Each structure stands twice: as C-alpha cells, then as structure tokens.
Amino acid sequence: MTYKLKIMPNPLALLPLANSLVVAIAYDRLCTFEFGIATEIFALPRPEMGENWYRFAVAGVDAGEMRAAGGLRFAVDGGLELLAEAGTIVIPGWRGVDAPVPDALVTALKAAHARGARILSFCSGAFVLAAAGLLDGRRATTHWRYTEALTTRHPDIDVSPDVLYVDAGTVLTSAGTAAGLDLCLHLIRRDFGTEAANRVARRLVMPAHRDGGQAQFITQVVPRAHESGRLGPLLDHMRENLGADHTVAALARRAGMSGRTFLRRFESATGMTPARWLLAQRLGKARDLLEETSASVEEIAALSGFGTTGTLRHHFRLHLATTPAAYRDAFGKRAANNEASHQ
C-alpha cells in the first residue's frame, strides 16, 4: 500500500491587528452567497496563517426568526451591539435595493465608523452604507445592475461602475457577488501582506488579483474562440513590454486586424480600451514591486512602464488615491515585517 504524505505550509508569523474581530451582519432574506464569502474568508479555521488571523462573529439585524435566500434558517451570535466591538464589519449584500435600512442599523454603523472600524460592503450592501451616509463624498461601487440606481438616489457618491472594488480607507465597497472575494483578498493583502493573500487565494483556487473591472463580465466573459489565439499572445506581449509605446495601429497590425475591429474585440474581451488595460497592468506591476522589493521609486517607474517618477506618482494619486511611498509604507512594510518575523 502506498501512502501520500500531505504537507502543510509553515504557519505565517503574522503581525497582530489592533482589532482582529470581523462582524458580519445577517438579516431576514439574507444574500446567501455574499454571506458565504464572509464566512469563507474570515470564519474558516486557517492554521497555515498562524495565531493572529481574524476572529469572526455574526450580528443579527432583525428580531425573531430569520431566513436566508432559499429558506435556510440560521442563528446569530448576537445583535447590533456586536458592531461596537468590531474592528471590521461586513455587509454581505442587502435584501433589496428598494428595501429600507433599519434606523438601528444606520445608527450602529455610524457609531462604528466614527470610532474607526472598517466597513466592507458586497454587491447591494452599498445601499446600506449609502443610507447611513457613509459614502457621501467618497468613491464607491456596487453591482453593475445597480450603479445607475445608486447614482440617481445618492448623487453625492462618486459611483465607479467599471471596477471590482473600491478601497476608500475605512469604507470599502465591492461590485457584484463574486467581487466580494476580490475585495476580501485585497483586505488580507492590506492587513498581512502579499504572501498571506496568495495563500488564501490558492486555497480558494482563484487568482490573488483579477485584472480589469466588472464591465468584462456583463455580456461576454472570455474572448470568442477564434479571437483568443490572436489576443492572448498580444496581451502577453504587452505585459512583457510595459514601457513600449503601444499604439492602436501597431497593436492592430500585430493582432492581424483593422484598427476598428481590434478596438471592438479588445474591449469586448477585456472590458477596457487598450490604453486603460495597459495602465492597469502598469499599476499592478508597480504595486507588486513596491510590496515585494526594495527598488527605488525611480527604478519602479522604469520597470513598470511609467518611465518617470512624476508619471508614476500622478497615476497613483489619480487611481489609488495615494503615493508610491505611502503605498509601500502601508503594504510593503507589513509584508516585510511579517516575512522577517517568520524567519
């Protein structure tokens, strides 16, 4: 008989968070999938992450028996008083974009936000944050089906319909359904560094970071079969040459298409124009280098295709609302410290 030895990765020596308690709200007609994301990420035992992983609890919004979508009955750990103890609060969708948000929930969220708790929303959960006034003057997102409604009802919110998530500091919003996973992985990366996020992503069998925005999932998820053979190698070429001047004419010639056809099929396949896709790749490369290397900002600007530090800083301010130095301080330092503690 042959035995296979299951080798577990060494636990990470994660630095402790100031408050590791994550509280997810639950409500009658609970969005089951979105709630499942919160429990999968924050409630699942993860011995490979060491002793300083998140703690998890569930706060009930409604009195009496509550049922999830599909009729499942569930129990909770307590009521909205749990939000006063949380370092992070998750709003896993809402029972309807037209459903009123209870005053007690609004009050509890405002109080939690005022004392510095982070609040995450998945999908339609953004409407709960909007009802509490926590998105006013901020950039936010929600499922593409609801972005127009969110914009119309709450004109003070800068709604971004074409992203998977928005990190506005202590208030974070994600797009439709599965984008909640992307947001959670981003938070893990922010809290514990790249290796922690990569380990969770591997266990989920998904990429640690998905390129592009939710527009790519509206009508067509992947390129048509007869186009993928041309666009796939082209995308690889662009990734390998981030600093090149990729004009539409040159890219179209390389793909063997007319300029108009190329633009139409590129946007259909990726959800973005070539220029926006290339910018996303450059930003991703720069973020990776800031997190994982000690290269100077000047070197990173060159390696990521921005060319100059001024251009790099401009795009970080515009798209990430931070600077390269501040980003490295927030993400790279924690990753480096976690790595040093693990050695």
pLDDT computed for residue 236 by the predictor: 87
Residues 157 and 263 in one domain: no
pLDDT computed for residue 271 by the predictor: 74
Residues 32 and 83 in one domain: yes
Residues 225 and 298 in one domain: no
Of 61, 123, 163, 231, which one is the catalytic site residue?
123
Residues 84 and 107 in one domain: yes
- Edge-to-edge strands, sheet with 55-60: 55-60, 21-26, 88-92, 118-122, 171-174, 165-167
Per-residue pLDDT of the chain (343 residues; tens, 9 = 90+): 444 444 456 788 888 999 999 999 999 999 999 999 999 999 999 988 999 999 999 999 999 899 998 889 999 999 999 999 999 999 999 999 999 999 999 999 999 999 999 999 999 999 999 999 999 999 999 998 999 999 999 999 999 888 889 999 899 999 987 899 999 999 998 999 888 888 898 888 777 666 555 543 433 333 444 445 568 889 889 999 999 999 999 999 999 999 999 998 888 777 789 999 899 899 989 988 988 888 999 999 999 999 999 999 999 988 877 889 988 887 665 545 544 444 4
Residue 38 lies in a domain: yes
Residues 227 and 197 in one domain: no
Residues 84 and 150 in one domain: yes
Give the C-alpha distances (Å, rounded to integers) separating 172 from 149, 211, 215, 244: 19, 18, 19, 34
Long-range contacts, stretch 235-241, CB < 8 angstroms, 24+ apart: 235/270, 235/277, 238/274, 238/277, 238/278, 238/281, 239/281, 241/305
Q: What is d(CA 214, CA 102) in angstroms, rounded to the nearest whole number?
A: 29
**C-beta of residue 201 within 8 angstroms of C-beta of residue 189:** no
Q: What range defines the domain where residue 256 resides?
A: 219-271
Residue 212 lies in a domain: no
What's the CATH number where 188 sits?
A: 3.40.50.880
> Which of 227, 249, 271 is where one domain is finished?
271
Residues 184 and 266 in one domain: no
Q: What is d(CA 117, CA 87) in angstroms, rounded to the nearest whole number?
A: 5
Residues 32 and 127 in one domain: yes
pLDDT computed for residue 209 by the predictor: 66
The count of domains in the chain is 3
Residues 286 and 241 in one domain: no
Among this protein's residues, is 184 annotated catalytic? no
Does the pTM surpass 0.75? The reply is no
What's the CATH number where 327 sits?
A: 1.10.10.60
Residue 333 lies in a domain: yes
Residues 180 and 79 in one domain: yes
Residues 69 and 188 in one domain: yes
